[in-house]
Structure 1
Amino acid sequence: MTSPLPTFIQRFFSHYLPLQRGLSSHSVWAYRDAIKLLLRFAAETLRKSVEALGVEDLSEHTVLAFLDHLEVVRLCSARTRNARLAAIRSLFAFIAREDPSWLPQSQKVRSIPLKRTEHNTAHYLHEKQIQELLDAPDLTSAAGLRDRALLLLLYNTGARVSEIVGLKLADLRLDGAGQVQLRGKGNKYRSCPLWPETVRALRAYLAQRLPKDPADQSLFLNARRLPIGRFGIRHLLSRYSSQTSAPASQPPVTPHTIRHTTAMHLLRAGNDIAMVSYWLGHADINTTHAYLEIDMDLKRRMLEKMDGPHARKKPAWHRPDILEWLEDLKSGPNYVQANRPKTASRAKVAP
């Protein structure tokens, strides 16, 4: 049985993912990369062209071999392997729904288990470290004004880097009580208030913002006056974090490090975890609970609010006399005979 695999893939990416599931463009690109790698691997392994591949060629055996290839040859981590598998599972679920005749093969592929991964503790910055990072940009230059506004907005909102990259001028409100509207995962919108310091930094940046295309409404621009990307923001954070007093053993500072920092500082300020979850745009509050696991100061304050147990002091244990007596039984081989009670001798009977 052959199948129009390209037709399935085109509908999967053009209609199902963006329209039915409402995934962001970044999520769609991640799925695209996974399927591209699978198609190339299958074509090389089966010695076919990509155009000649059918659904039957993407068997459970081929998918398992592809996952091994990711880890052994491409040296991908288990997390990356699981992310690729999730994209493949989603594709086969779509194919089975479009054509139920592929349901048996879909079930086999979708039953491939995810690998267990280590739970990495979230890294965040302490108050002194984040202040050093915010003070690093040179405010006498246009790039420094942009970077200061960008760093403050990241820390103020705890936004994902994709949310910052996607910001438009219309998403800002700087008159009165400043606020920004963020578009998160699944095209869900949330609004965050802004500190007066963030508003002032944004106004200073906007006063000298000069896009290459006057019609460009992207909030942050790169050195070429084009919309800044995720890797550009990561590069800025890497450069400025190297100017702080952070120890060399500390993990690199990324946009998600700033997000973790915002979450931790909000929790340590005494905010309810449900409100912090809403602030960060978490779909599941259990995601926010992970931050409670890494703050020992917060745990210590929680413990101090609870009275400790008042346990009674037990007397020191001593060995009972009977045990001492039993222990003495092994002191010598004739102990039992020596301590046997004496009996009267029998009287002699006359013959």
Structure 2
Amino acid sequence: HFHPVRRAAALRSFFSFVADREPTAIEQCTQILHVPMKKAPIHAPCYLEPEEVKAILAQPDRSTIEGQRDHVLFSFLYNTGARIQEALDVCPQAIRFDSPNCVRLYGKGRKERLSPLWPETVSLLRSQLMRQPRAADEPIFVNRYGAPLGASGVRFKLAQYVEAAAKITPSLTSKHVTPHSFRHATAVHLVAAGVDVTVIRSWLGHVSLDTTNHYAQANLETKRLALERLESPSRSTKRPSWKQDQSVLAWLDTL
């Protein structure tokens, strides 16, 4: 079955074809082609706050091989903003363990990009490879039998960790968390840190700048909610501190 939007597009294409080939049907085809297409609203992606990420990363039992592997994988996702399959495809030869630390990722269409790594992430990766050694061209993240992890298995394990983390951080209860949520979190937190959206686009391998702009919008919503919790301007004669903060003004200029 076709998605309703795709079905409508197919019908419009068909009647455009008919109008070109059958002059007597032009009037009827024109009426059909003028039926407006329904456009679904594009929602900003749900993303994780830093404390929510921390709560999830604390759940895997790092005394076990699987627990440590999961902790390293989710830490890697948050550091790099990689898509889940990009992370699962990473081999030791893709990582630069010397300074400057980075990883070579292959995105959609095998497009290659470099992502910087935090020293903490590199240390976690070193530890992971000591516990589960891999050849230079073998995927780092594997199951107990040495077979590469699948994305569906990672989603299942993540759901369990999120359920446990929600008992500590209740805000997670209302969020549908997937491996892609770490990618969203990375982008939003980069925006909050003042990184230009075009740089974020390059880092995350976004094809469209519109995708990156979703994160800027999501971050603005966070800032709006934070401002609502502050004292009402009518109750204070002091100039809002953010208007005096050049770093905040510079950040706003990048959006």
TM-score of the aligned structures, taking structure 2 as reference length: 0.70
Counterpart residue number, 2:174: 250
Post-superposition shift, 1:127?
1.3
From 174, 195, 215, the counterpart of 2:118: 195
Q: 8 Å contact 2:83–2:183 — kept in the other structure? A: yes
Q: Which residue identity lines up with residue 40 of structure 2 in the other structure?
A: T
* Distance change in 2, residues 1:165/1:152 (3 Å): same
**Residue matched to 2:94:** 171
User: Quick check: 1:305 aligned with 2:228?
Assistant: no
The number of residue pairs the alignment matches comes to: 209
Q: Give a deviation string over 1:93-126, Cα, whole Å, max 9, x none.
A: xxxxxxxxxx97xxx9xx9x97522322311111
Query: Equivalent of 2:146, from 213, 217, 225?
Result: 225
Query: 2:129 corresponds to which residue?
Result: 206
* Cα shift at 1:233: 1.6
Please give the alpha-carbon distance, in whole angstroms, between the structure 1 residues aligned to 2:119 and 2:160.
26
Instruction: From 254, 259, 268, give the equivalent of 2:192.
Output: 268
Aligned-CA RMSD value: 3.3
Measured after TM superposition, the shift of residue 165 of structure 1 is 2.1
Specify the alignment match of 2:103 in structure 1.
180
- Within the candidate set 139, 152, 159, 1:238 is matched to 159
User: What pairs with 1:87-98 in structure 2 (closer than 5 Å)?
Assistant: none
Quick one: distance in 2 between partners of 1:85 and 1:179? 45
Task: Tell me if the contact between 2:88 and 2:141 (Cα under 8 Å) persists in the aligned partners.
Answer: yes
Which one of the candidate residues 218, 227, 234 is aligned to 1:294? 218
Query: What's the offset of the Cα at 1:196?
Result: 1.1
Q: Secondary structure at the match of 1:290?
A: helix
Identity of aligned residues (%): 34
Structure 1 CA distance for aligned equivalents of residues 120 and 103 of structure 2: 14
2:16 is equivalent to residue 128 of structure 1: no
- Structure 2: any 5+ residue segments left out of the alignment? 14-19, 22-28, 228-239, 245-255
User: C-alpha separation between the residues in 1 aligned to 2:86 and 2:54?
Assistant: 23
Q: Is the 8 A contact 1:222 1:232 kept in 2?
A: no
In 2, the alpha carbon distance for the partners of 1:161 and 1:200 equals: 20
Is the 2:142–2:149 contact (alpha carbons within 8 Å) kept by the matching residues of 1? yes
Contact 1:149 1:198 survives alignment (8 Å): yes
Residue aligned with 2:131, SS: coil
Give the structure with higher Rg (CA).
1
Q: 1:157 aligns with which of 65, 80, 87?
A: 80
Q: How does 1:21-170 map to 2 (within 5 A)?
A: 66-67=1-2, 82=6, 116-170=39-93
* CA distance in structure 2 between the aligned counterparts of 1:205 and 1:215, rounded to whole angstroms: 14
Q: CA deviation at 1:223?
A: 3.2
**1:157, distance to aligned residue in structure 2 (A):** 0.3
Match of 1:334 in 2: none
1:310-333 deviation per Cα after TM superposition (whole angstroms, max 9, x unaligned):
xxxxxxxxxxxxxxxxxxxxxxxx
Report the AA paired with residue 200 of structure 2: V
Deviates more, 1:115-124 or 1:127-136: 115-124
2:159, 2:8 → 1: CA distance? 31
Residue in structure 1 matched with residue 253 of structure 2 by the alignment: none
Give the Cα separation in 2 of the matches to 1:304 and 1:169. 44
- Say if 1:224 and 1:252 are closer, same or farther in 2 by CA, change over 3 A: farther
Tell me the amino acid that sits aligned with residue 151 of structure 2.
R
**SS at structure 1 position matched to 2:164:** coil
Shift of 1:161: 1.1
Q: Against the structure 1 CA distance between its residues 175 and 248, is the aligned structure 2 distance closer, same or farther, given a 3 Å change threshold?
A: closer
**Does structure 1 retain, via aligned residues, the 8 Å contact 2:187–2:200?**
yes
The one-letter code sitting in structure 2 at the alignment partner of 1:189 is E
Question: In the alignment, which residue of structure 2 is the partner of 1:50?
Answer: none
Tell me if the contact between 1:238 and 1:253 (Cα under 8 Å) persists in the aligned partners.
yes
Structure 1 runs not aligned, ≥5 long: 1-65, 71-77, 93-102, 307-351
Are the equivalent residues in 1 in contact too, given 2:93–2:136 (CA < 8 A)? no
C-alpha distance after superposition, 1:28-54 (max 9, x if no partner): xxxxxxxxxxxxxxxxxxxxxxxxxxx
Q: Residues 181 and 237 of structure 1: is their aligned pair in 2 closer, same or farther, counting only changes over 3 Å?
A: same
- Cα offset for 1:224? 3.1
Q: CA 1:215–1:179 in 2, change beyond 3 Å: closer, same or farther?
A: closer
